[in-house]
Amino acid sequence: MKITVIGTGYVGLVTGACLAEQGNHVFCLDVNPEKINILNAGGVPIYEPGLKEIIERNLSYGRLIFSTDIAAAVAYGDIQFIAVGTPPSEDGSADLNYVLQAAKQIGQHMNRFKVVVNKSTVPVGTADKVTEVIAQELLNRGLPSENFSVISNPEFLKEGAAIEDFMRPDRIVIGSQANAAGYAAKEMMKQLYAPFNRHHERTYYMDVRSAELTKYAANAMLATRISFMNEIANLADVLGADIESVRQGIGSDSRIGYSFLYAGTGYGGSCFPKDVSALAKIAEHHGQELKLIKAVEEVNEAQKNVLVKKITRRYGEDLSGKTFCLWGLAFKPNTDDMREAPSRVVIRNLLMRGAQIRVHDPVAMTEARHAIQLDMADQTELLQYLSFHEDPLVAAESADALLIMTEWKSFRSPDFHSLKQSLAHPVIFDGRNIYDPQLILDQGFEYEGIGRKTVLESGYLKGFELLQNQSLNHAVTGQMTQH
């Protein structure tokens, strides 16, 4: 099939490359000529494992075209994917300007029946707006205004695992209109996704608005699980419980499961923060208040500062003269995405308290420099106290503590002996709970994770056990004396 993908951001690029990998011929459009030049040269402007290889392969086969030519792009594909950005507006709602502009361009250039697919994450009702924009452009050209159909086909891609998610999806959601054009569009989408349904049917067909809401509801549910677990982890810290034991205890319940039950420093990225906020705004616009969703947002924003609170509790509010090493800057492993990354909040707060910071990330250093410069635009003089290091052990040199901000695999089993020698003080604040606390303590480090207080205070627990043993001995001795 001939496909057009409008937008070569994260979703558009993965969608176009993966559809080409299935044998389709795909025309990818972007208004940024610099990005198109990079792609035509075989480069990739984002980091996603496996994506570069797929793009290079399909460029060589002639199944991928990258261009800025709008008219050619609309003429090319029978199916037109809109995969442009929907950034948050100032009030948190989704900005649809790019989506509606893409729809307008389709209406201005189309000359035969087109299936227009909303792949971008958009508020409920967007398909109606896209339909209105295209129909108006066709009327302006004196053409039939019903010679197209708008489909909602939300993406469910995890950054760092997007290729696997696209090629082996849990589900494919297709929302179509209930008319003749909608039926034709549904059949074309069924043909497009047939290779993904060979072994069992993964596609769920529904009306357009249900499909649009499904995307927001899915991300909101996952974000809710994360915030819930972080709340319980913070309570575990206070109660002296171990969140890892709690996670296993509740995750073993088949009704709950283990996914997204890991405590940490909060979620970030391009999806959860934006989509949770947008869902709340959608509800407000329709006179509804999603109290749970608002609480999820509030918990997450507070959780981004959980390590800062632990640090100031130990060292005081004034961190002048202290040096901290951060391992991990991206919001999650296997990506260079710095959008809403908790590391940005931590870095700013530590710099504002007078600390020096040394950082390392396997792939996100370039994006991090730009993001942190934006964050510190009002305090640029503090950037002199921030340094970037390609070697994680060099980054740790003379630091008073190591902070784990991203759970990269390369951080899981470092040379602890060398790490201990590099640090000025063997202290680890584990914001992702990637280490076994007892193992770290046995290596001679002080350790604090998120909700791992039981193990952290092992000295207290050992003392408590000693008192128990002493009491037991006294009791036995007393009984023997009485006898």
- Token representation of residue 388: 């970037």
Residues 6+ apart with CB under 8 A from 344: 338, 371, 372, 375
Q: List CB contacts of 251: < 8 A, sequence separation 6 or more.
A: 257, 258, 261
* CB-CB contact of 99 with 107 (8 Å): no
Cα distance between residue 88 and residue 270, in whole Å: 10
Amino acid of residue 200:
H
Evaluate whether 428 touches 445 at the Cβ level (below 8 Å). yes
Whether residue 325 lies in the annotated active site: no
Which two structure tokens, joined as six digits, stand for 19? 């559809």
In angstroms, the Cα distances linking 201 to 171, 173, 215 are: 9, 11, 19
**Whats the size of the chain, residue-wise?**
483
CA-only gyration radius of the chain, Å: 26
Q: 445 and 232 in contact (C-beta within 8 Å)?
A: no
Burial 38-66 (b: 16+ CB within 10 A, else e): ebeeeebebbbbbbeebbeebbeeebbbb
Tally of CB atoms within 10 A around 84: 27
Cβ contacts of 83 within 8 Å, gap of 6 or more: 5, 6, 7, 9, 11, 12, 15, 16, 119, 120
Residue located via tokens 């640029």: 380
Q: Which residue of the set 18, 28, 271, 325 is catalytic?
A: 271
Catalytic residues: 271
